[in-house]
Amino acid sequence: MTRHLLKLQDLSAEEILEILNLADQLKYEKKHGIAHPHLQGKSLGMIFTKSSTRTRVSFEVGMYDLGGQALFLSGRDLQIGRGEPAEDTARVLSRYLDGIMIRTYAQEEVEQLARYGSIPVINGLTDYCHPCQVLTDLMTIREYKGYFKGLKMVYVGDGNNMANSLIVGGIRMGMQVAVACPKSHQPDAALMKWAAENGTFCCTDNIPEAVADADVLYTDVWASMGQEAEAEERRKIFKGYQINREVMAAAKPDAMVLHCLPAHRGEEITADVFEAHATEIFDEAENRLHAQKAVLVKLMA
């Protein structure tokens, strides 16, 4: 059976740890100039119907580092953008490529590519989730804290794709997860139910309550890709759902701050908190490369 990464729920805790261990090893090898051509001669197609800096560059450089090649396929240029069905695109691309990474709107489109194609499909972000980012975040948390069990991870902001994947990743790794968001913009209801049944989870609109004693603080933009028209209205809805000095004071003194980026200073995070935690945030961005390579090797080698 072809293995995919469509959403984080598809991975067990053991499988996540295997990816993180391999990511650490690939990071070490890269830093020490040790070649790791695990995907020699292989090709990854990267379909983007939304913008990207980190995902595109980390997968493209990652394939190069692994001895393979990556093709950037813009949704605007592909026939899929003119209505060619995903099931046909999947079957055609399976004849040329060894793997597909796709960033798009509907989770269903990613699932369809996996269903109809015969090569691994990797979700590079949908409206529903962002599993590659959260694998990277887990790698970064372990790098800084050394362990997961019992750590409290708090997400402040929109209950969006990032919130959904962080809930799954955090609970799988045995962290306590709290989400502070407005009642109208909570994460996926089924995921929250699963989290409450499988670990320590809470979702509240009370920010100080959520943030108390946090070890890891996380936030993301108030308006995600595709929600640009709602940006003004969202600024009103999310006002206050911000990581700032006051919020940091309620967290543990050694709490780390993560952000998937891009960041909007003055909205979900203040400039001073962002800069005070820039080392963690840019280590996190760097780790996209190492974590994505680990996913590629696990699925395509």
**Pick from ligand CP, ligand NVA, none: which does 71 bind, CB < 5 to 8 A by kind?**
none
Q: Toward ligand NVA, which CB reaches closer, 138 or 162?
A: 162
Residue 288 bears catalytic tag: yes
Give dist(CA 154, CA 215) in Å, integer: 8
Does residue 287 touch ligand NVA according to CB under 6 A? no
125-154: contacts with ligand CP (CB under 6 A)? 125, 133
Within its chain, how far is the Cα of 22 from the centroid?
17
Give alpha helix (H) positions in 9-80.
13-31, 54-65
Count of residues of this chain found to bind ligand CP when the rule CB under 6 A is applied: 8
Q: Please, what is the minimum distance in Å from the beta carbon of residue 226 to ligand CP?
A: 12
Phi, psi of 260 (to 5 degrees): -65, -25
User: CB-based contacts of 31: which residues, under 8 Å, 6+ apart?
Assistant: none
What are the contacts of 196-200 at 24+ separation with CB within 8 A? 198/171, 199/170, 199/171, 199/174, 199/175, 200/176
Taking CB under 6 A as the criterion, the residue among 225, 231, 237, 263 binding ligand NVA is 225
25 binds, among ligand CP, ligand NVA, none (CB under 5 to 8 A by kind): none
Pair 133, 292: CB distance under 8 Å: no
Q: Tell me which of 130, 142, 172, 277 is the catalytic residue.
A: 130
CB of 258 to ligand CP, least distance (A): 11
Beta-ladder partners of 265: 269
Told to check if 161 binds ligand NVA by CB under 6 A, we report: yes
| Residues in contact with 281: Cβ distance below 8 Å, sequence separation at least 6, in sequence order | 257, 258, 259, 261, 263, 274
Active site residue 133: yes
Site for ligand NVA in 47-106 (CB under 6 A): none
Token code pair at residue 204: 């509240």
Tokens 């592909």 -> residue: 78
In the range 204-243, which residues lie near ligand CP by CB under 6 A?
Answer: none
Which residue, 123 or 242, is less far from ligand CP as judged by CB?
A: 123
Residues 69/63, Cβ–Cβ less than 8 Å? yes
Q: 172, 215, 260, 292: which one is catalytic?
A: 260
Catalytic residue chosen out of the listed positions 129, 288, 290, 292: 288
Here's the x/- map for ligand CP, 25-64, by CB under 6 A: it reads as ---------------------------xxxx---------
What Rg, from alpha-carbon coordinates, does the chain have? 19
User: Cβ of 102: how many Cβ atoms within 10 Å?
Assistant: 26
Q: What are the start-end ranges of the E strands in 67-166? A: 69-74, 99-103, 121-123, 152-156
Under rule CB under 6 A, residue 162 binds ligand NVA: yes
Residues that bind ligand CP (CB under 6 A): 52-55, 125, 133, 260-261
Residues that bind ligand NVA (CB under 6 A): 125, 160-162, 220-221, 224-225, 260
Q: Catalogue the active-site residues.
A: 103, 130, 133, 220, 260, 288
